[in-house]
Amino acid sequence: MDKRKIEFYVGLFVIIGVLCAGYLFIVLGEINLFGQKRYPLHAYFASVSGLKANARIEMSGVEIGIVSDISIDKERLMAKVSLRINNDIELTDDSIASIRTSGIIGQKFINISSGGSDTFLKPGDEIEQTESSLDIEALIREYIFSTDSN
């Protein structure tokens, strides 16, 4: 092979490698280049202990979105969780958002239970009914240090 063919194939290989790496960055990083695939909702919880940003949101065991942000609402003094729900999922206004744990000591996620209403939530709306996570450490602490001497 002459030198020009070798340089051509090396250049082609480098270009294909860069394209593959770019594709992986976009897919694994969930970068949205061509429009928005998710719409925003938010919910308020008394406690979000252990829940983190980018946690999954499930309905019937199927992932339907992610947690985009967790902050404190200074007026309500509750945790405000910003959700990003897939556009193809329509949630009713009586849906329930619960914080659950995968397994015994697994990661926290939000489970959405669908309601029976005919009214659907619009982007930016609030899920009114929420259930906070169960704080296992507090329960164990209460059990161990209880002063009940029966």
In terms of domains, do 5 and 71 share one? no
Domain that holds residue 1: 1-31
What's the pTM value of the predicted model, to 2 decimals?
Answer: 0.69
pLDDT of residue 16: 96
Q: What is the mean pLDDT of each run of 10 residues along the chain (150 residues)?
A: 88 94 80 72 90 91 92 92 92 92 83 89 91 77 72
Nearest to 117 by CA among 89, 90, 99: 90
In terms of domains, do 46 and 100 share one? yes
- Asked if residue 150 is part of any domain, the answer here is no
- Domains of the chain: total: 2
In terms of domains, do 46 and 81 share one? yes
Pair of tokens at residue 55: 């946690």
pLDDT of residue 75: 92
Cβ atoms within 10 Å, residue 53: 11
In terms of domains, do 12 and 64 share one? no
